[in-house]
Amino acid sequence: MNDRLHIFDSQACKGDGLCVDVCPHGVIEMVGEIPATVVDRAESCISCGQCVMVCPTEALRLQTIPEEHFERVKSLSFGFEQFHEFLRARRSVRMFKDKEVPREDIDKILKAAATAPMGFPPHTTEVLIIDEVSELKFLLEFLVNHYDGLLKSFSNPIGRMFIRLATGAEIYGELRNHVVGFATKANEDYRRDKTDRYMHGAPAVMIFHANRWTTSYEENAHLVCHHAMLAALSLGLGTTIIGMIPPVVERSKVLRSRYGIPKDNRVLTSLILGHPKYRYRQGIRRDLAGVQFNCTAH
Ligand X SMILES: Cc1cc2nc3c(=O)[nH]c(=O)nc-3n(C[C@H](O)[C@H](O)[C@H](O)COP(=O)(O)O)c2cc1C
Interface residue list for ligand X (CB under 6 A) = 91-92, 94, 240-244
Rounded least distance, CB 205 to ligand X, Å: 12
Are residues 136 and 190 in contact, defined by beta-carbon separation less than 8 angstroms?
Answer: no
CB nearer to ligand X: pick between 94 and 266: 94
| The dihedral formed by the CA atoms of 170, 172, 173 and 175, expressed in degrees to the nearest 10 | 130
Which residue, 88 or 258, has its beta carbon nearer to ligand X?
88
**Whole-angstrom distance, CA of residue 196 vs CA of residue 141:** 9
Shortest CB 34 distance to ligand X, Å: 49
d(CA 281, CA 73): 34
3-state DSSP assignment of residue 204: strand
Q: How far is the CB of 28 from ligand X (least distance, A)?
A: 40
Q: How far is the CB of 16 from ligand X (least distance, A)?
A: 44
User: How many whole angstroms separate alpha carbon 244 and alpha carbon 115?
Assistant: 26
Shortest Cβ distance from residue 241 to ligand X (Å)?
A: 4
Question: Residue 206 Cβ, how far from ligand X at the closest point, in Å?
Answer: 14
Distance from the first to the final alpha carbon of the chain: 50
Q: Measured from the CB atom, is 37 or 187 closer to ligand X?
A: 187
The minimum distance between CB 278 and ligand X, in angstroms, equals 12
- Closer Cβ to ligand X, 91 or 176, answer by number: 91
Nearer of residues 18 and 244 to ligand X, judged by Cβ: 244
Q: Which of 120, 129, 152 minimizes the C-alpha distance to 220?
A: 120
Distance CA 193, CA 182 (A): 17
Q: Which is nearer to ligand X, 35 or 246 (CB)?
A: 246
DSSP secondary structure of 121-175: SS--EEEEEE--HHHHHHHHHHHHHHHHHHHHHHTSHHHHHHHHHHH-HHHHHHI
Give the whole-angstrom CA distance, residue 152 versus residue 293: 48
The residue length of the chain stands at: 298
Question: Closest CB to ligand X among 19 and 179?
Answer: 179
In the complex, minimum distance from the CB of residue 22 to ligand X, in angstroms, rounded to a whole number = 34
Q: Whole-angstrom Cα distance, residue 271 to residue 238?
A: 10
Of 91 and 160, CB closest to ligand X: 91
Cβ of 280: how many Cβ atoms within 10 Å?
13
